[in-house]
C-alpha cells in the first residue's frame, strides 16, 4: 500500500469574510491541504464547522496576534485582509525567522517586485519558487485575461466598464454592499485611479482606464473592454487569437456569444466572449465574466498554492460548471 502523503498545513488570516469562507470550502475538499488555523476576531472560539458546511473537523476560529502567527505551525498562510493590513503580518514572520508560503489577497504587494504576481494563465512562466505571492485583484484578473491576447495590437488606452455583485465590497457595511440601496440600482464608484486600473496598466505595460460599478446581485463580475487596434482585424482572426492563447487553460473559456454573469456564479473559470468589431476592424469590444469570490480570489489563491507546493495547478478545483 502506498504511504499516505503528509498533509500541507494552511492558515487563513481574516477568515470571516466571503473570500475566507470560500477558501475554507476549497481547502476542506483538497486532497493535500488541511487547515492549521483560521483567524477571525468576530468568530473567535466558535467551531468552523458551524459556519461552513464543507468543513467537518474540530477546528475553532481563533484570534492570534500578529506575533503569535509564526508559532501556529502553518506551511502556508493566506492573508485575506483589507488593503493596508498585510505588512504587519508579514513583518511578524520575518521577525520570527519563519518562512511559510504567504499568499496575500489584498493589493498591498501587487506592485512589489519582490513578490510573485500570481495570475497563473499569464504569469506562471515567471514563477521561480517564490514563497511570497500576491494574488491579483478580481477585476484585474478579468481585465487582463480579456485584453492579453490582443496586447501587441493595441493603440491608445483600453477602456474597461466593470459591474460587480456586492460581495466584492466585503462584509463591512457600506452603501456598496447594502442590498436595499442597491435594489433597482447601479452604483458607480472610484471612476478614476482605481487600484485595479494601476495594477492592470503595470502588468500589461499598456494604459488601462477602468470604471467600476456595483449591482444588486451578490456575486459575479461583468467586464466590458473597449480596445483600439493598430491595424484592421477580421472577427475570425480575433477569435483565433483568443482560442490559441487560452488553449489548454481549463479555467478560461472562449465563446462566440457574450457571456452572462448569472451563469458564472459558483464557477471557477472565466468566460470571455462577445467580440464585437467596428466596421473598420480597428475597434474591438470584448466581454469577460467571472465569480469575483472564486477565480477572482479564492480559486486563484488555490492555483497559486498548488503551484508553490509542486502540485498540479488544478488540484482541488473543479473544471466543470458547478
Q: How many CA atoms lie within 13 A of 199 on its CB side?
A: 23
Q: Judge whether 190 and 269 are in contact, CB under 8 Å.
A: no
Q: Helix or strand or coil: residue 274?
A: strand
Rounded CA separation 199/50 (Å): 37
Number of Cβ atoms within 10 Å of the Cβ of 29:
13
Residue 256 DSSP one-character state: S
Contact 150, 227 (CB under 8 A): yes
Active-site residue, 89 included? no
The residue to which cell 483567524 is assigned:
39
Q: How far apart are the first and last CA of the chain?
A: 33
Tell how strand 270-277 and strand 283-290 pair up: antiparallel
CB burial of 124-140 (b: ≥16 within 10 Å; e: otherwise) equals eeeeeebebbbbbbbbb
Q: What are phi and psi of 182, to 5 degrees?
A: -85, -15
Which residues are identified as catalytic? 138
Amino acid at each position: 500500500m502506498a504511504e499516505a502523503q503528509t498533509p500541507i498545513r494552511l492558515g487563513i488570516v481574516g477568515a470571516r469574510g466571503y473570500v475566507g469562507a470560500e477558501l475554507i470550502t476549497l481547502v476542506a475538499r483538497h486532497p493535500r491541504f488541511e487547515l492549521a488555523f483560521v483567524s477571525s476576531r468576530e468568530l473567535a472560539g466558535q467551531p468552523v464547522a458551524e459556519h461552513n458546511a464543507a468543513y467537518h473537523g474540530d477546528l475553532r476560529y481563533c484570534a492570534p496576534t500578529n506575533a503569535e502567527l509564526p508559532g501556529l505551525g502553518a506551511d502556508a498562510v493566506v492573508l485575506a485582509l483589507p488593503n493596508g493590513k498585510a505588512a504587519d503580518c508579514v513583518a511578524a514572520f520575518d521577525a520570527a525567522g519563519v518562512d511559510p508560503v504567504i499568499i496575500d489577497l489584498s493589493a498591498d504587494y501587487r506592485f512589489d517586485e519582490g513578490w510573485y504576481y500570481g495570475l497563473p494563465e499569464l504569469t506562471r512562466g515567471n514563477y521561480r519558487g517564490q514563497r511570497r505571492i500576491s494574488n491579483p485583484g478580481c477585476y484585474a484578473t478579468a481585465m487582463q485575461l480579456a485584453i492579453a491576447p490582443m496586447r501587441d495590437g493595441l493603440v491608445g488606452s483600453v477602456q474597461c466598464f466593470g459591474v460587480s455583485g456586492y460581495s466584492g465590497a466585503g462584509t463591512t457595511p457600506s452603501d456598496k454592499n447594502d442590498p436595499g440601496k442597491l435594489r433597482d440600482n447601479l452604483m458607480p464608484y472610484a471612476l478614476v485611479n482605481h487600484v485595479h486600473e494601476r495594477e492592470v496598466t503595470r502588468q500589461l505595460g499598456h494604459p488601462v482606464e477602468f470604471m467600476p460599478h456595483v449591482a444588486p446581485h451578490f456575486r459575479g463580475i461583468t467586464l466590458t473592454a473597449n480596445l483600439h487596434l493598430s491595424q484592421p482585424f477580421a472577427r475570425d482572426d480575433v477569435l483565433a487569437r483568443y482560442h490559441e492563447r487560452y488553449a489548454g487553460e481549463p479555467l478560461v473559456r472562449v465563446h462566440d456569444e457574450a457571456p452572462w454573469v448569472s451563469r458564472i456564479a459558483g464557477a471557477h473559470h472565466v468566460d470571455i466572449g462577445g467580440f464585437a468589431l467596428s466596421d473598420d476592424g480597428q475597434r474591438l469590444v470584448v466581454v469577460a465574466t467571472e465569480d469575483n469570490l472564486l477565480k477572482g480570489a479564492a480559486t486563484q489563491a488555490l492555483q497559486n498554492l498548488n503551484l508553490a507546493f509542486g502540485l498540479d495547478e488544478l488540484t482541488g478545483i473543479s473544471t466543470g460548471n458547478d
